Amino acid sequence: MIEVRGFQVWPGSLDAAAQAAMVQEVREVVRAAPLVAPVTPGGREMSVRMTSAGRLGWITDRSGYRYATSHPSGVQWPPVPPSVLAVWRAVTGLARDPDCCLVNWYGEGARMGLHQDKDEGDFIWPVLSISLGDDALFRMGGVARRDSTQSLWLRSGDVVLMGGPARLAWHGVDRVRHGSSRLLPQGGRINLTCRVVAA
């Protein structure tokens, strides 16, 4: 494990077999709750596609950023994949499982602007991130938007834990190196983020 600006990073935490097995479980999530093109409250379409698994799913539209009990289509979110829960339990050591596993799909040219994860209601719980597929340039800042930033390439199988001082740090994905991984036949990146959401 290495620590960068309070972010705890486990490079290569998942081997090739574990990554492939997790991708298959994520495909089942997407079959049950298809990826959607999210829109910000200001009406801007995001470049990633997303869905969720768990008791709650994170959504965004013109009504705002929030957690919802069902997919925008009305179907219930599928359970968090067992392989993802296993990583959560091993890395966090927590007895409580996450309420949400957000699935972000980055196709060619997709990115994620600097943001904070702050819709969960109780920030004592960490956020766990798992990278699958193409390399992503991950930018990490501080708790203030104006703080300096540092970037790190995340590769398939890397795991990041955002807790403690990094829990409300600004972060984002500047770009994805399309085709850099062989995990996904057509290229692309899957990012899974697990969160505990206050009742």
Tens digit of each residue's pLDDT, the chain (199 residues): 999 999 999 999 999 999 999 999 999 999 999 999 999 898 899 999 999 999 999 999 998 899 999 999 999 999 999 999 999 999 999 999 999 999 999 999 999 999 999 999 999 999 999 999 999 999 999 999 999 999 999 999 999 999 998 999 999 999 999 999 999 999 999 999 999 998 6
Class of domain 2-195: mainly beta
Distance CA 94, CA 92 (A): 5
**Tens-digit pLDDT profile for residues 107-119:** 999 999 999 999 9
Report the half-sphere exposure of 190 (CA within 13 A, side-chain side): 27
Q: Could you give the angle at the alpha carbon of 128 between the alpha carbons of 37 and 134, nearest 5°?
A: 55
3-class secondary structure for the chain?
A: CEEECCEEEECCCCCHHHHHHHHHHHHHHHHHCCCECCECCCCCECCCEEEEEECCEEEEECCEEEEECECCCCCECCCCCHHHHHHHHHHHCCCCCCCEEEEEEECCCCCEEEECCCCCCCCCCCEEEEEEECEEEEEECCCCCCCCCEEEEECCCCEEEECHHHCCCCEEEEEEECCCCCCCCCCCEEEEEEECCCC
Q: How far apart are CA 146 and CA 187, in angstroms?
A: 34
CA 118, 13, 111, 25 dihedral sign is negative
Dig out the tokens for 117 from the structure.
Answer: 């994860």
The ranges assigned to domains in the chain are 2-195
Q: Which helix (H) or strand (E) holds 58?
A: strand 57-61
Q: Write the pLDDT tens digit of every residue in 18-62.
A: 999 999 999 999 999 999 999 989 889 999 999 999 999 999 999
